[in-house]
Amino acid sequence: MLRLGGRALAVGLSLLAAAANAAHPVAAKRAMVVAQEPLATDVGVEILRSGGNAVDAAVAVGFALAVTLPSAGNLGGGGFLLARFADGRAAFIDFRERAPEKATRDMYLDDHGRLTEDSLTGWRAAAVPGSVRGLEHAHRKFGRKPWTELLTPAIRLARQGFPVSYALADSLRTSARLAKFSESRRIFLKNGEYFSPGETIVQADLAGTLERIAKSGSAEFYGGETARRLVAEMSANGGLFTLADLKGYKVVERAPLTGGYRGYELITAPPPSSGGVGVLQMLGMLEGSGYDREGPGSASAIHYVAEVMRRYYADRSEHLADPDFHRVPVAGLLARPYLEQRRNTIDPARASSSDAIRPGDPAPAERAETTHLSIVDAEGNAVALTYTLNGGYGSGVTVPGLGFLLNNEMDDFSAKPGEPNMFALVQGEANAIQPGKRPLSSMTPTIVLRDGRLFMTLGAPGGSRIITGVMQVLLNALDFGMNVQDAVNRPRFHHQWKPDELYMEEGFSPDTIALLRGRGHKVASTAGVALVEAIQVKADRLEGATDPRGHGKAAGY
């Protein structure tokens, strides 16, 4: 998942204070697309206007982002697509990356048992990608426009090029990981000369790869010329996955996770996402607590929500993992008696110590750089799609001759159970590396219904902060009645159990921070808590909100 930071994000955050008092969403009568790069948003609107549905638009935007947002948009990563259709059906498509068959539990430890950098940077950091097969699966099952037509905009952007934005120029210039690999330096850094804002970036190799995928579908990426060239480079550079790994990659359709909160119905991501469980568990602890009596942004509300976050992340560390390898106790984690028991450990006036908070004991399971886009089409179909390279620009490796970056998703496993990963998340044995396993994810595509009708679709990048970012936007909209842009703009905070710190964005009053410290919280500043992209459905219009912490766009017609 995309790590947030850097000058571009700081500039976006500086706009929050001005925007917070007068934030207006983008309105449209029929359809809406919100994505984290403006050219990709325009691609989605183009597909919708020409008769495509929400899934068609999501596929086209996904491929366009692989060109225009190389830090997170991708062919070489994976993710989740959540859809809710106008007739009431819902679907969840899991195209999360998988560990190669050569992967071993301790592969990222040196001779002294210490973690190396290999799970973060270079060829060995990459898990088997799922994005191309996942997008094709969604299109085959739910799309209606020709496949080639959905890839045409991405091919055009790669072949003809597009103007580099200030945000992209800054992001490329400051990426230390890209600079480590010759092909990445050549394409994205101009061998150290760097792109200037307004300059055109052309990606001819990527255009060729996209043209082959447009002609032959995912079979090209997983077994054709692209696959053979990718595997040859993998072998030559000490990478792990093989042609058999690529050919064996499978998309999984899972039942979406559902739950209720104050009369709303939530449809969200099941494991191997930890996000859906996290949002529903935290909302379940908050419901009926009265946490909101003193209003949004109050020290009382922040304290209580932070304590709920702390307890969820403790549970996450032990109980959540790929359900195909670990019996995840989802029902137990969301059971009302368990949530009440966890809530009863919260002192409304005093912060807990994370060292004293342990993972809970729910009932056992029954046998039985990330980017996000939200789309609602003219028929009332909704898609929330989150996909990722993990870190910004993934492993830093661009595959020679193919033009796409590889993920560093292996770091989302517990490379050393009990040790923090790149997002400082402490994870347990359930998420240890195993061949064919999908790493635990924080991606949280979510759709909200009210009285059985579509109310909101949202999601975010942001690593471990995705879950708390999405939840706070939900609280702002559902509990505090904010419009969708106000709900997205409002300053956010984050607690993930360990480290024992309450991270707070700019925009909270010094008095509130002092009160939180007085309650025993260890407050630390942070550049940002996720980048949430959301659409809210009104009786007579759609309202789209892109997060001012980033550089996205909401547009519709």
Q: What are phi and psi of 474, to 5 degrees?
A: -60, -45
> Taking the chain, what is the end-to-end CA distance rounded to the nearest angstrom?
31
CB atoms within 10 A of CB 292: 16
Pick from 324, 269, 267: nearest CA to 443: 269
Q: Which of 212, 189, 203, 194 has the alpha carbon at shortest distance from 160?
A: 203
The DSSP 8-state label assigned to residue 264 in this structure reads E
Tell me the two tokens of residue 554: 């909401």
User: Residues in the chain, how many?
Assistant: 557
- Residue 45, H or E segment: helix 38-49
- Could you tell me which residues come within 8 angstroms of residue 435 by beta carbon, excluding any fewer than 6 positions away? 99, 100, 101, 102, 103, 104
State the catalytic residue, choosing from 121, 226, 268, 370.
370
DSSP reduced 3-state for 343 = helix
Respond yes or no on whether the N-terminal peptide bond of residue 510 is cis (omega within 30° of 0).
Answer: no
Do 554 and 25 contact (CB within 8 A), yes or no? yes
Report how far residue 197's alpha carbon sits from residue 301's, in angstroms, rounded to the nearest whole number. Answer: 42
Coil, strand, or helix at residue 120? coil
- Please give the structure tokens belonging to residue 18: 């001005």
Return the closest-CA partner of residue 167 out of 557, 553, 554.
553
Residue with tokens 């000058």: 7
Measured distance CA(190)–CA(167) in Å, rounded: 17
Which 3 state secondary structure label does DSSP give 249? coil
Q: Which residue has the tokens 């983008």?
A: 26
Q: Is 468 among the catalytic positions?
A: no
Sequence-distant (6+) residues with CB within 8 A of 66 are: 73, 74, 75, 131, 154, 206, 210, 404
What DSSP assignment string belongs to 164-196? PPHHHHHHHHT-TTGGGSHHHHHHHSGGGT-PP
- Kindly list the catalytic residues: 370
